[in-house]
Amino acid sequence: MSSRIAAVDVGNDAIKAIFGKLESELYIPNVIAKDIEDRPVIGIEELDEKNPLEGIHIRVHSPALQDNNAIYRVGNLATKSDNPAELDLGSSKSEEDQTLVMLFAALALDAAKQGNNDKFKKVNNVVEANYTLGTGLPLREVKEGKDVGYRSKLLGSVHQVEFLITPKYQGMKVNIKFDEVKVYPEGFAAYINLVMDNDLNIINRELIDRRILIQDIGGLSTDIAVIKNRKVDDDKAQGFNLGVAEALESIREEIRKKHGVELDSRRDVVEIITKKNDRNHIMVRGSRTSVHDIIDRILGELAKKQYRHLRNVWQKNSQTEICYFVGGGSIVLKDYLKTLNQNFDGYNIDFFEDERESVWMMANAYYKLISDFNRRNSKEQHQSQQKKKEQRSGAVK
């Protein structure tokens, strides 16, 4: 059985995954909700005409989980639940069941796709799926050595996802095995994505030997990677328990108190902040209403804290030439950070104007790294087999 490449970024806001030879990708909101096996569905007869991503309903069995064999709604379906769970402030991505549930769900959705029937063995609605996985953890967790435990949880076990009332895949089971798992520090991955293409050829030569900061603002944490001599300086790189999730929750709560409007999740708040038309407006009893004052105050305060971290790290690395802001949080805070920088220190900072590029940066980087590992590994195996053949041939003579 062949091993399929998977590059998966389990972001605090959403999971982004790239598969195979760039032929397939998935984007799923990082929200789960405990559920029952027979969830009620209106129009069960039309279930298979719907998009599976709108109705991910699964049972997950894995020795890596603390709560084994539990049933979940995942992604968009979970946001409509009464008990949606998003990752909490202060939690470690490597130690949360939610991270693994999202990872397994994404891989199972890829394995179950009809177009992938030739890639995996399938008998009686059970798919045997082998993956070579590239993923990552926040710098802080890697520095604490948590990547080792996370990797060992995934390797050496079979992780099963059973699709319950999910469009197109109802009744299917996917057994997931990992042939290899590479866990990369997120800051280093961002650097790789900046300077190299999918074949790890250098595309931004002017960045190669520069001293760079990469400030990755996520939902629950912020990493500032210090790049020097083409490597992350482990001693100077820093991670902080400061992301945009808490600010989004505060905005959600204030909108509820002031306007009586219940937003389902943090994702709804992000959409209000980033949408192209009617940004920072909501509908209140059918009337278009501005929530600009609430958003401005809360995000302005968060931007000040993020800018303070930038200033402190830059002072300790005074020969830094540029700082790149990446991650979903940087999109939300971009305008506030630019204004602060103009009014105060005037550091050389840059953002990715292409929002998609910023959001998919980690997944793209993991893809580049795991593809390169796979190429080198295949080459070594081929050379080893050739050597054995030559030795056998010599022995026969």
Task: Give 304's pLDDT tier (boundaries 50, 70, 90).
Answer: very high
pLDDT of residue 382: 63
* Statement: residue 58 has pLDDT above 80: yes
Question: Which position has the higher pLDDT, 15 or 47?
Answer: 15
Question: Which position has the higher pLDDT, 304 or 225?
Answer: 304
Average pLDDT over residues 328-357: 86
Average pLDDT over residues 335-339: 93
Task: Give 116's pLDDT tier (boundaries 50, 70, 90).
Answer: confident
Residue 64 neighbours by CB under 8 Å, 6+ apart = 100, 153, 154, 157, 159
* Statement: residue 239 has pLDDT above 70: yes
Q: What are the residues facing 177 on neighbouring strands?
A: 130
Task: Give 395's pLDDT tier (boundaries 50, 70, 90).
Answer: low
pLDDT tens digit sequence for 268-291: 888 898 887 888 898 898 899 999
* Statement: residue 90 has pLDDT above 70: no
Question: Which position has the higher pLDDT, 6 or 218?
Answer: 6
To the nearest 10°, report the CA torsion of 64, 54, 352, 295: -100
- Residue where the block lists tokens 């949880």: 153
**pTM of the predicted model as reported, rounded to 2 decimal places:** 0.85
Question: Alpha carbon 74 to chain centroid distance?
Answer: 15
pLDDT of residue 43: 58
pLDDT of residue 289: 92
pLDDT of residue 345: 82
Task: Give 117's pLDDT tier (boundaries 50, 70, 90).
Answer: confident
* Statement: residue 60 has pLDDT above 60: yes
pLDDT of residue 7: 96
Share of the chain above pLDDT 90, in %: 45
pLDDT of residue 207: 74
pLDDT of residue 135: 96
pLDDT of residue 42: 62
pLDDT of residue 238: 82
Helices 266-274 and 328-343: angle between axes, nearest 10 degrees: 50
pLDDT of residue 44: 61
* Statement: residue 295 has pLDDT above 60: yes
Q: Which of 218, 177, 207, 222 is nearest to 321 (CA)?
A: 207
Which range among 30-39, 158-167, 224-233, 303-312 shows the weakest confidence by mean pLDDT?
A: 224-233
Q: What φ, ψ does residue 228 adopt, rounded to 5°?
A: -145, 135
Is domain 4-185 annotated with CATH 3.40.30.10? no
To the nearest 10°, report the CA torsion of 128, 133, 138, 142: 100
pLDDT of residue 162: 97
> Helices in the chain by DSSP H: which ranges?
76-79, 97-112, 139-143, 146-154, 186-195, 205-208, 245-259, 266-274, 292-316, 328-343, 355-359, 361-396
Amino acid found at 266: R
pLDDT of residue 102: 97
- Residue where the block lists tokens 């397939």: 24
pLDDT of residue 164: 93
pLDDT of residue 65: 95
* Statement: residue 45 has pLDDT above 60: no
pLDDT of residue 200: 75
pLDDT of residue 109: 96
Average pLDDT over residues 124-151: 91
* Statement: residue 36 has pLDDT above 70: yes
Average pLDDT over residues 296-312: 94
- Residue where the block lists tokens 């190299």: 196
Q: Which of 249, 289, 243 is nearest to 268 (CA)?
A: 249
* Statement: residue 186 has pLDDT above 60: yes
* Statement: residue 256 has pLDDT above 90: yes
Average pLDDT value for the chain: 87
Q: Which of 327, 316, 318, 336 is nearest to 238 (CA)?
A: 316
pLDDT tens digit sequence for 174-184: 999 999 999 99
